[in-house]
Amino acid sequence: MGCMNMEPDYNKYSNQELLEALESIDEIKYFDRAKNIMLLYLKSEQIKVDELRDRYKVGEVSALSDVMTFPISLYGNDKEMSEKIHYILQNM
C-alpha cells in the first residue's frame, strides 16, 4: 500500500502544470519539491539556472517572465511568483 505523502511525478507534468504546481506550493515548507519543479521547468524551457540567477542579481524582478513563452503566473500574481522563484534561487 502506498504512502499518502508521496511526491507527485513532476517529470510527467506539462510546462503549464509545472507552473501551476510551483505557484501553489509552499516553497519554504516544501523547498525540495519547489526546487525540483522549478528545475524541471527551466530544463524544459532550456533556461540555465545561472542565467536566471544573474538576472535576479541585477534587480530584474521579472527575470523569469522575460525568458518564458507565457505568463509566469496563471492567476495574475507575477510579483509573488517572482519572489518565490527568487527565494528558491537564493537557497539552492
Instruction: Establish if 8 belongs to a structural domain.
Output: no
Confidence at residue 71, expressed as pLDDT on a 0 to 100 scale:
54
Bigger pLDDT: 91 vs 85: 91
At residue 4, the pLDDT reads: 58
Q: Which of 40, 41, 54, 45 is nearest to 89 (CA)?
A: 54
Residue 7 located in a structural domain: no
Distance between CA atoms of 48 and 8, rounded to whole angstroms?
24
Q: Is residue 9, in this structure, part of any structural domain at all?
A: no
**Structural domain count of the chain:** 1
Cβ distance 15 to 41 under 8 Å?
Answer: yes
The residue type found at 59 is G
- 11-70 confidence digits (pLDDT tens): 999 988 998 899 899 999 999 999 999 999 989 988 888 887 777 666 555 555 555 544
